[in-house]
Amino acid sequence: MDKQNLKVIDRDMMKYIAIITMFIGHAVAWINLMQHPGDEYATYNMPVGLMIVSFLSLICPPVMFFFIADGYKYTRDRKRYALRLFIFACITQPFDWLIFQPLYGWRTFNVIFTLFFGLLAIMTWESGLILWQRIALIVLCDAATVAMSSDWMLFGVLFILFLHIFRDRPKQRLIAYSVLTALHFVPNLFSLGKVPTAKLLTGIVVMMSMFALAYFAMTVLYNGRKGKHPVFAKWFFYAFYPLHYLVIWGIYVMFVK
């Protein structure tokens, strides 16, 4: 089969798929966490079906990582793009605290900050600085996500950077993506004995499968084209992320708490 015949998903369709699954997964996972504050293994205490549904959200982060790397190549003004990410990260943060401050305090920050530092890492890599300077600044970008405890800290920046560096070398890109995926999820095995083994192994398989599915969608099914309403879609996606925190918090307060 001609590979081009498989490229049936445009940019906006891909983002809609990602945010719908993200919303469903986050709703299940976050409402469960809010019911069990302080329990780091609360996800594994859910019925297996709900636990699997909660992990559906994991198709979204790699799609975000791909589009940051893609956006660097196609955006007209990279500095404005970075500024826009930073502004929306700041706008999103109060909504993030709405859910996570009671659970983890004020020390966590939302994923858009990680996307912002990932974009800065690409800009640094493509700068005219000598190699050691570029590496040092990229390390600082990655360290910033760890210091802020932003979502996907450490790994998010690396995913974004390697997706950019290897964009024209698919084999190396797949290897880098697979290694980072394994490094992120396999350490969950250290929880053996603390949570039911069957649930833990099922969770790891589902989480890694979501990342594999996202990679397949972005490299095989995505056609690189804009949707029919690109301006509306761009601002809708920016607005949806902070608002989905509010909606999930509202569901919890009105129907669960």
pLDDT digits (tens, 9 = 90+) for 34-89: 999 989 899 999 999 999 999 999 999 999 999 999 999 988 899 999 999 999 99
CA-wise closest residue to 218 among 65, 116, 75, 73: 65
Beta-bridged to residue 222, according to DSSP, are 9
Amino acid of residue 36: H
The model's pTM is: 0.96
Q: What is the mean pLDDT of residues 161-166?
A: 98
Residue 205 has a pLDDT of 97
Cross-strand partners of 192: 195
Indicate the length of the chain as a whole number.
257
Measured distance CA(146)–CA(131) in Å, rounded: 23
Q: What is the pLDDT of residue 234?
A: 87
> Measured on CA atoms in the order 5, 165, 127, 231, is the torsion positive or negative?
positive
pLDDT exceeds 80 at position 2: no
pLDDT at 107 over 80: yes
User: Is it the case that residue 133 has pLDDT exceeding 80?
Assistant: yes
pLDDT of residue 38: 86
Stretch 116-124: mean pLDDT: 98
Average pLDDT, the chain: 95
Q: Return the pLDDT at 40.
A: 87
Tell me if 188 sits within 8 A of 203, measured CB to CB.
Answer: yes
Average pLDDT over residues 109-121: 98
What percent of the chain has pLDDT above 90? 90
Nearest Cα to Cα of residue 64 among 100, 30, 14, 25? 14
Least confident of 81-85, 114-118, 232-236: 232-236
CA 11 vs CA 14, 15, 171: distances in Å: 5, 6, 23
pLDDT tens-place string over residues 187-220 = 999 999 999 999 999 999 999 999 999 999 999 9
